[in-house]
Amino acid sequence: MIDRTVFKERFVKWVLVAFALSSLLFLFLIFVFILSEGLPLFHKIGVKNIIFGFKWAPTKGYFGIFPMIISSFLVTIGALIIGAPMGLSCAIYLSEYSGKKMKMFLKPALELLAGIPSVVFGFLGVIYIVPLVRNYLGGSGFSLISTSLVLGVMILPTIISISFDALVSVPKTYREGSAAMGATKWQTIYKVIIPSAKSGILASFILGMGRAIGETMAVIMIAGNALKIPGSILDPLRTLTGNIALELAYATGDHRLGLFSTGVVLMVIIMILNYVANFGIKRKIAK
Q: How far is the CB of 53 from another protein (least distance, A)?
A: 13
Judged by beta carbon, residue 23 or residue 252, the one nearer another protein is: 252
Judged by beta carbon, residue 130 or residue 281, the one nearer another protein is: 130
Q: How far is the CB of 226 from another protein (least distance, A)?
A: 5
Judged by beta carbon, residue 90 or residue 221, the one nearer another protein is: 221
Q: How far is the CB of 63 from another protein (least distance, A)?
A: 11
Runs of H (alpha helix) within 125-252: 130-136, 144-154, 156-168, 172-180, 185-188, 194-196, 198-214, 217-223, 240-247
Residues in contact with another protein by CB under 8 A are 55-59, 67, 126, 130-131, 134, 139-142, 220-221, 224-228, 235-236, 238, 245-247, 249-252, 255
Judged by beta carbon, residue 46 or residue 131, the one nearer another protein is: 131
Q: What is the dihedral of CA 190, 191, 193, 197, to 10 degrees?
A: 100
Task: Return phi, psi of residue 226, to 5°.
Answer: -70, 150
Cα 262 from Cα 93, distance rounded (Å):
40
Judged by beta carbon, residue 227 or residue 233, the one nearer another protein is: 227
Do residues 98 and 168 make contact, with C-beta atoms less than 8 angstroms apart? Answer: no
Do residues 76 and 240 make contact, with C-beta atoms less than 8 angstroms apart? Answer: no
Q: How far is the CB of 249 from another protein (least distance, A)?
A: 6
Cα 32 from Cα 17, distance rounded (Å):
22
Q: How far is the CB of 215 from another protein (least distance, A)?
A: 16
